[in-house]
């Protein structure tokens, strides 16, 4: 499958997963496109659309927690920030993602 087609497929699938969790794709279309492109690349190289902004440990159990969309594993933290780490997803009411603060999990 071509990269563009796989990006569209991931966008469709991810949208279905994040919607009931109260999230949507960032309105920053350029960022969304870039991150999806990176995820297609990671999927091709490593077998799953791992998070583009998190390092993999090599331990399967741990790495499964950073397969996109990883919101269910980090829900409390993301709900506090109203975005995920990469910013691919934001809370549904967010219109200005650049205004959202980021902080480490222990401050969530």
SS3 state of residue 75: helix
Question: Residues 32, 40, 66, 90: which binds ligand SF4 (CB under 6 A)?
Answer: 66
CB of 17 to ligand SF4, least distance (A): 9
Q: Does 90 bind ligand SF4 (CB under 6 A)?
A: no
- Could you give the CA distance from residue 93 to residue 103 in angstroms, rounded to a whole number? 20
- Under the binding rule (CB under 6 A), the answer on residue 35 touching ligand SF4 is yes
CA 101: distance to chain centroid? 16
| C-alpha dist (Å) from residue 9 to 5, 95, 104 | 6, 24, 31
Q: What is the DSSP letter of 88?
A: S
Rule CB under 6 A: say whether 84 interacts with ligand SF4.
yes
Place of tokens 């993301």: 78
DSSP state of 98: G
Residue 70 as a binder of ligand SF4 (CB under 6 A): the answer is yes
Residue that is written with structure tokens 């999230």 in the block: 23
81 interacts with ligand SF4 by CB under 6 A: no
Considering only the stretches 3-11, 56-64, 68-76, 91-99, report the one whose residues sit in contact with ligand SF4 under the rule CB under 6 A: 68-76
Contact residues for ligand SF4, defined by CB under 6 A: 35, 51, 53, 66, 68-71, 84-86, 88-89
């Amino acid at each position: 499958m071509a990269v563009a087609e796989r990006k569209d497929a991931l966008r469709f699938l991810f949208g279905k997963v994040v919607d009931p969790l109260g999230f949507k794709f960032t309105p920053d279309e350029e960022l969304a496109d870039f991150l999806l492109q990176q995820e297609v690349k990671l999927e091709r190289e490593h077998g799953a659309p791992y998070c583009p902004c998190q390092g993999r440990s090599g331990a399967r159990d741990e790495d499964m927690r950073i397969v996109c969309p990883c919101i269910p594993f980090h829900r409390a933290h993301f709900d506090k920030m109203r975005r995920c780490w990469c910013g691919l997803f934001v809370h549904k009411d967010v219109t200005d993602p650049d205004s959202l603060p980021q902080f480490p999990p222990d401050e969530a």
